[in-house]
């Protein structure tokens, strides 16, 4: 009976802490955020919901008839007032997140840290951590894959003496935790140990509406003065680009991939990165080991741009296919290759369907920041293509990082030594069809069966 009462007390304490965080925040009066929602042609978009996340809080408004929006008083929470000097628990980052998020913890002494995660109904969803950490900088990563979109509360307990709650929002399709992020810079020790200032970081802005896909805007500037005008935010007004229904993410060989629906097709949103890296002066071989090239023979490039594969390796030598011979019998139907079960290497025709759906505009496929001039990516499809370069078989080196991207098709060319590819160039919006030697090292995007 005592235990039940104690647990009930803890749950009530957690709930009221959540309410406190949600409603009793530090309001930075006079600091406003403005912008305008427009379509690709610059037309204003009214009646869309704009949610501005300034962790741990958020503000939601509706854009006016001309697309403009204004958050008059952007809020940010006062953090860690309950903790004594020397302790620090950050907000989770990113927030909203998909499906992993990270909380940084600074401890003055070796301590046992227990993290429990609850949904908005107060139910423990079983994604917590219970671990002893050394003094100094530490972190926990929480993975929520498979749970529904919504608000969750992380309750962090330090040695049973101090308890902090953090509000988190899981939104499939929002930013995912990147291994490339320098968290030491994001959570600078000197800055986080001080009180909050009038600098308000914007985690993200999410735009939703009944007739559009969900749009996520990240990498936005901080609010440092009385106001910040973001200018025009280009919104994808189609339903294309959402995570695939029922399969927002796929975990394969230890890595989580996001999905994106484009027309009737369901694609990986990232280049495939599976296998063991080999040096570029060695051809990949049929040895029951998936092998990959990483640009400049550096695995860090694979983490960002995915692996590069010769054609036969990508097809996993199905039906006896090699880089110098045709499959026998010829391929019919889907060829899984190095993709996970239920997914396959796209055919020439399937890439043609993708291009046709997007009016052959490669800029809609390229990630924001990829390309330049008339070839600058807008990523309005959500495909997030990267100019990943290639492995060049003529000199066993690498070329064209930042200039070209190339995807293998499973379709063989008329020559047994060549296969079809789809490629894009940094300076144009064209989607090219080509054929080249199977020994080239190109990127792979998996397509759902």
- What are phi and psi for residue 407, nearest 5 degrees? -120, 130
Please state which of the ranges 221-235, 301-315, 373-387, 410-424 shows the lowest mean pLDDT. Answer: 221-235
Would you state the pLDDT for residue 422?
96
Can you name the residues that pair with 392 across neighbouring β-strands?
397
> Is 247 exposed, middle or buried, given 0-12, 13-18 or 19+ CB atoms closer than 10 A?
middle
**Tokens coding 73:** 């008083």
Judged against a pLDDT cut of 50, whether residue 447 lies above it is answered with: yes
**Tokens coding 328:** 């026998």
Read off the pLDDT of each residue in 9-28 and give the average, rounded to a whole number. 40
Judged against a pLDDT cut of 90, whether residue 168 lies above it is answered with: no
What are 259-271's pLDDT values in tens digits? Answer: 999 989 999 999 9
Would you state the pLDDT for residue 28?
35
Of residues 313, 339, 356, the one with CA closest to residue 449: 339
Judged against a pLDDT cut of 80, whether residue 197 lies above it is answered with: no
Would you state the pLDDT for residue 127?
78
Read off the pLDDT of each residue in 232-240 and give the average, rounded to a whole number. 77
> Is 161 exposed, middle or buried, given 0-12, 13-18 or 19+ CB atoms closer than 10 A?
exposed
Read off the pLDDT of each residue in 357-374 and give the average, rounded to a whole number. 91
Judged against a pLDDT cut of 60, whether residue 24 lies above it is answered with: no
Q: What order do you get walking across the sheet with 129-133 strand by strand?
A: 129-133, 111-119, 150-158, 162-170
- The Cα–Cα gap between 199 and 205 comes to 17
Would you state the pLDDT for residue 344?
97
Of residues 357, 355, 353, 374, the one with CA closest to residue 428: 374
Strand 162-170 with 100-107, pairing:
unpaired
Would you state the pLDDT for residue 183?
44
Residue 401: count of CB within 10 angstroms of its CB: 16
Judged against a pLDDT cut of 90, whether residue 88 lies above it is answered with: no
Of residues 350, 303, 357, 343, the one with CA closest to residue 178: 303
**Tokens coding 364:** 């809609």
Can you name the residues that pair with 250 across neighbouring β-strands?
257
Would you state the pLDDT for residue 9?
44
Whether residue 351 contacts residue 407, with contact meaning beta carbons closer than 8 Å, is answered with yes
Would you state the pLDDT for residue 341?
96
- 227: pLDDT confidence band, cut at 50, 70 and 90? confident
Q: Which residues of 249-269 are buried (b: 16+ CB within 10 A; e: fewer)?
A: bbebeeebbbbbbbeebbbbb
Whether residue 170 contacts residue 98, with contact meaning beta carbons closer than 8 Å, is answered with yes
Q: Tell me which H or E stretch contains 412.
A: strand 404-412
Judged against a pLDDT cut of 60, whether residue 26 lies above it is answered with: no
Read off the pLDDT of each residue in 265-279 and give the average, rounded to a whole number. 96
Judged against a pLDDT cut of 90, whether residue 123 lies above it is answered with: no
Read off the pLDDT of each residue in 344-367 and give the average, rounded to a whole number. 94
**Tokens coding 110:** 């070796």
Residues constituting the chain: 449
Would you state the pLDDT for residue 199?
65
Judged against a pLDDT cut of 70, whether residue 427 lies above it is answered with: yes
Would you state the pLDDT for residue 32?
87
- 178: pLDDT confidence band, cut at 50, 70 and 90? low
Per the prediction, the chain carries an average pLDDT of 83
Please state which of the ranges 24-28, 191-195, 400-404 shows the lowest mean pLDDT. Answer: 24-28
Would you state the pLDDT for residue 362?
95
Domains, the chain, in order of start with CATH, read 28-77+197-237 (2.60.40.10), 79-195 (2.60.40.1930), 249-448 (no CATH)
HSE of 100, CA atoms in CB hemisphere, 13 A: 14
- The Cα–Cα gap between 277 and 250 comes to 22
- 221: pLDDT confidence band, cut at 50, 70 and 90? confident
């Amino acid at each position: 009976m005592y235990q039940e009462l104690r647990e009930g007390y803890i749950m009530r304490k957690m709930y009221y802490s959540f309410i406190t965080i949600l409603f009793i925040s530090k309001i930075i009066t006079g600091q406003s955020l403005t912008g305008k929602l427009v379509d690709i042609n610059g037309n204003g978009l009214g009646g869309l919901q704009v949610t501005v996340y300034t962790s741990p809080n958020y503000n939601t408004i509706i854009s006016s008839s001309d697309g403009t929006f204004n958050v008059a008083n952007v809020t940010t929470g006062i953090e860690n007032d309950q903790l004594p000097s020397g302790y620090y628990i950050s907000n989770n980052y990113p927030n909203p997140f998909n499906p992993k998020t990270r909380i940084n913890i600074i401890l003055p002494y070796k301590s046992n840290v227990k993290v429990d995660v609850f949904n908005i109904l107060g139910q423990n969803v079983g994604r917590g951590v219970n671990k002893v950490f050394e003094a100094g900088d530490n972190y926990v990563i929480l993975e929520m894959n498979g749970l529904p979109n919504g608000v969750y509360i992380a309750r962090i307990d330090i040695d049973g003496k101090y308890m902090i709650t953090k509000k988190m929002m899981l939104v499939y399709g929002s930013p995912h935790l990147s291994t490339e992020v320098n968290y030491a810079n994001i959570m600078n020790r000197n800055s986080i140990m001080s009180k909050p200032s009038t600098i308000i970081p914007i985690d993200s802005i999410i735009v939703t509406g009944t007739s559009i896909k969900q749009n996520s805007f990240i990498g936005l500037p901080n609010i440092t003065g009385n106001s910040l005008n973001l200018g025009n935010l280009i919104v994808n007004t189609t339903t294309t680009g959402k995570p695939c229904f029922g399969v927002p993410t796929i975990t394969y060989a230890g890595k989580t991939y996001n999905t994106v629906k484009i027309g009737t097709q369901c694609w990986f949103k990232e280049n495939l990165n599976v296998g063991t890296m080999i040096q570029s002066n060695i051809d990949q071989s049929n040895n029951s080991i998936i092998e990959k090239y990483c640009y400049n023979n550096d695995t860090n490039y694979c983490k960002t741009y995915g692996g590069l594969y010769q054609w036969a390796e990508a097809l996993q030598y199905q039906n006896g296919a090699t880089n110098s011979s045709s499959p026998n019998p010829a391929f019919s139907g889907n060829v899984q290759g190095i993709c996970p079960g239920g997914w396959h290497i796209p055919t020439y025709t399937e890439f043609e369907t993708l291009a046709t759906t997007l009016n052959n505009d490669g800029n809609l496929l390229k990630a924001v920041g990829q390309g330049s001039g008339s070839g600058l990516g807008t990523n309005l499809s959500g495909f997030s293509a990267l100019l990943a370069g290639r492995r060049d078989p003529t000199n066993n080196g690498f070329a064209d990082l930042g200039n070209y991207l190339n995807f293998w098709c499973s379709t063989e060319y008329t020559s047994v030594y060549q296969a079809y590819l789809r490629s894009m160039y940094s300076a144009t919006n064209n989607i090219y069809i080509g054929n080249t030697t199977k020994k080239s090292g190109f990127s792979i995007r998996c397509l759902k069966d």
